[in-house]
Structure 1
Amino acid sequence: MSSDPQGAEPNIGASPTRISNPELRHEASRAAVWIGMVGLAVLTVYISQSLLVIFGAMVFAAMIDGGVRLLGRGLKIGRSWRIAIVLVSSVAFLIWLGWFAGSQISQEAAQFPAIVETQMIQLFEWLDTQGFAIDISDVQGLIGQAISGFGTVTRALGGILGGLTTLVVVAIIGIYVVIEPRLYERGVAWMMPAEKRHEFYITVSIMAYTMRRLMFGRLVGMVVEGIFTWAMLALYGVPMAALLGILTGLLAFIPNIGAVISGVLMVLVGFSGGTEMGLYTIFVYFLIQNIDGYVIIPMIAKKTVDLAPALVLAAQLIMGILFGILGLFLADPLLAMIKVALERRAQQNEDGDQAVIRAKEEAVAALGDA
């Protein structure tokens, strides 16, 4: 019996899975790349909801980080203390909002769907008298479905239970990220090629800056619209002024769609108190939208990215259909980040082209000198 020399590896031959033909190996490698890309795309679709939750956590972290940086301009204390102040203030505001919504306007919230339904039925009855062929029974069914959604929104003001788990996950991840943002940034950069990391850090820095400004402007718009709506409606004695102010402020987070929904609700409640009150609510709505459109939005766009309204609306519709209310809320920030990335990529290409042109000019100048 023969034996191999001590320490030598036995000659066991080629693996049965080895492709001996170099051309076939090349084609198999290419096929493996395509299969991997398709698998990655399928995996992305499968976990898209989780990815959206993570992005929501990034948006939340950007909002907290913006508040921390703003406090840092006036309070020369450690970052951890400023984070604690922002978080405690946010929790205190949510507790106050829940108490106010639950104790002060709970009865109004319960009556709100009935008022909206009554006004919608009266509107369609008036249209029917003007010659429009409308079946009131079908309309009532549609209104009932819509009112159930409005009722969910108003009940959520008294105690947010739907989607609570998602909100908690978003908040926890966001807090972890805002405490040590560089740790997670380095972790993502570590998975990238070394030559791409510098550009990654620059792009992420621009995205974070844009996101902070975008969220700050959005919060300012929410506060201004909510308070202004409440003050103008309460001044005229419109019913449920506080509830409409809260709804208008919350819906202001969603551009375009939020304004339309809040305006319809405001006008319907206004006409429940008569024609003059209804006309006044229409005036208030257009006044608020003009302030938002000509003052707040330009101020935000000047500091962040200027997104086309049609593009934002299309993104909201797509994200809303795919991911529901969470996708609707995050469509605008996601679109802004995509635009920042594309603009950065275009700037890189432009810088590369300029470098090539300068190199050619220097080569031509060198040949001329020779």
Structure 2
Amino acid sequence: MAEPPIDEPHIERPGPAEFRDPLVRRELQKAAVWFGMALAIAGVIVLAQPLLLILGGIIFAVFLDGGARLLGRALPIARGWRLLLTIVLGFGFIGWVFWFAGTTIAAQAETLRIVVTAQFHRVVEFASSLGLLPKGQASTVGAQLLGSVGRLTSAVGSAIGAVTSVIAMIVIGIFLAAEPRIYDRGIAWMLPLRARTGFYRIAEHVGFTLRRLLFGRLVGMLFEGIFTWFMLMLGGVPMAALLGLVTGLLAFIPNIGAITSGLLMVAVGFSAGPTQGVWAIFVYFFVQNIDGYLVVPYIARRTVDLAPAIVLAMQLLMGALFGILGILFADPILASLKVVLIDLSRRQPAKHGEPAEAD
């Protein structure tokens, strides 16, 4: 009679509660990473508005820090006094602009809205006469587009909300610029010790790049605003001061700002006559070419060279996700990301004993 088969010994394998096993710990680490990424994405979506306000405060702090450093080259005083002087001079200049031209610009702003609306309806009617739009629906299309602009403007926020947001960014920026080292050390404290040196290095590089980039933006804004006002005034284009101010402000937004200010400029020019309209077109291309071939390249050589197509794509993406604030901050965010990636790519070969690539 055959003997029954002997059962093989059962091998116990670790279960999900056995955290000492290396396999379980490795899988838990992977799951924690993916769960953390999901929480981070959800947090960015839900907290988009306050995050953008904090980012705006950081950018304003970079402005103030750059001004304090610039004054330090000429004034051998403490950094706190230089920062206070920068704040007083900056807000003093803004107050002087609004006081000097406030009444005129306020009166011209309503006129500009009426002129742009009338010129827009003319363009729509012209397109309808060419058969590009169905006849009889030109006014409907114009009302829909202008209504969309109105809804977009109202979606940005009320006047009180906008003022509150600006005040919040200013306060955050002043606190950050007053004692930046405290906040750097606070963020570094949450990182492992081995990563803190790299964080300080990258933070210094990002701050240096943003100071140069924003200083270049200010130079471009002043150049475009003053030069546009002067050239339009020479050509007899109405509302030259307002158009110069709008052009200077929109120059902070690469690509999109130039196109918007150009459309406004040409619309106002043709409202005064064909000669003024042609002159407005000439002024637009003349100013943009000087800014694009002289001012911007000089600034780009001293900061981060960003391709225009990448900047425009970033603006469209940030605008779709976060609205007008996303468009405003797309350029600094892209520059910061590029600096971080370049720094990390240079340090990676050094960890493996390979020579870093030259610029």
Cα 1:241–1:254 change in 2 (3 A) is same
The alpha carbon displacement at 1:132 in A equals 3.0
Contact 1:105 1:243 (C-alpha < 8 Å) held by counterparts: yes
1:108 and 2:108 correspond: yes
In the aligned structure 2, how far is the partner of 1:149 from the partner of 1:235?
Answer: 36
The alpha carbon displacement at 1:349 in A equals 1.7
Q: Please name the residue that 2:57 is paired with.
A: 57
In the aligned structure 2, how far is the partner of 1:90 from the partner of 1:257?
Answer: 26
Contact 1:113 1:150 (C-alpha < 8 Å) held by counterparts: no
109-118 or 96-105, larger mean C-alpha shift: 96-105
In the aligned structure 2, how far is the partner of 1:124 from the partner of 1:21?
Answer: 69
- Within-5 A mapping of 1:339-350: 339-350=338-349
- Within-5 A mapping of 1:1-370: 19-20=17-18, 26=25, 27=27, 30-134=30-134, 135-145=137-147, 148=150, 161-353=160-352, 355-356=353-354
Contact 2:124 2:142 (C-alpha < 8 Å) held by counterparts: no
Runs of 4+ in 1 over 6 A off after TM superposition: 149-152
Cα 1:211–1:37 change in 2 (3 A) is same
Cα shift readout 1:275-301 (whole Å, capped 9, x = no counterpart): 111000000000010011001110111
What is the RMSD of the two structures over their aligned residues, measured on CA atoms?
2.6
Cα shift readout 1:28-52 (whole Å, capped 9, x = no counterpart): 5654454344333323332233222
Cα 1:316–1:36 change in 2 (3 A) is closer
Cα 1:271–1:77 change in 2 (3 A) is same
The alpha carbon displacement at 1:81 in A equals 1.1
54-63 or 244-253, larger mean C-alpha shift: 54-63
* Secondary structure in 2 matching 1:133: coil
In the aligned structure 1, how far is the partner of 2:85 from the partner of 2:218?
Answer: 18
The alpha carbon displacement at 1:309 in A equals 0.7
* Secondary structure in 1 matching 2:169: helix
Q: Please name the residue that 2:8 is paired with.
A: none
AA aligned to 1:110 is E
TM normalised by structure 2 equals: 0.86
Cα 1:290–1:300 change in 2 (3 A) is same
How many aligned positions are there?
336
Contact 2:68 2:79 (C-alpha < 8 Å) held by counterparts: yes
The alpha carbon displacement at 1:148 in A equals 4.0
In the aligned structure 1, how far is the partner of 2:209 from the partner of 2:107?
Answer: 41
The alpha carbon displacement at 1:73 in A equals 0.9
* Secondary structure in 1 matching 2:272: coil
Cα 1:326–1:147 change in 2 (3 A) is closer
Percent identical across equivalent pairs? 46
The alpha carbon displacement at 1:149 in A equals 7.7
AA aligned to 1:62 is V
* Secondary structure in 2 matching 1:132: coil
In the aligned structure 2, how far is the partner of 1:313 from the partner of 1:292?
Answer: 17
Cα 1:20–1:187 change in 2 (3 A) is closer
Cα 1:217–1:20 change in 2 (3 A) is closer
In the aligned structure 1, how far is the partner of 2:218 from the partner of 2:93?
Answer: 13
AA aligned to 1:197 is R
174-183 or 23-32, larger mean C-alpha shift: 23-32
* Secondary structure in 1 matching 2:74: coil
TM normalised by structure 1 equals: 0.84
The alpha carbon displacement at 1:130 in A equals 3.5
Contact 1:117 1:143 (C-alpha < 8 Å) held by counterparts: no
In the aligned structure 2, how far is the partner of 1:161 from the partner of 1:148?
Answer: 17
Cα 1:160–1:304 change in 2 (3 A) is farther
Contact 1:228 1:288 (C-alpha < 8 Å) held by counterparts: yes
The alpha carbon displacement at 1:144 in A equals 2.9
In the aligned structure 1, how far is the partner of 2:240 from the partner of 2:168?
Answer: 33
Cα 1:273–1:181 change in 2 (3 A) is same
Contact 2:121 2:139 (C-alpha < 8 Å) held by counterparts: no
Cα shift readout 1:44-78 (whole Å, capped 9, x = no counterpart): 33223322221211111111111111111111111
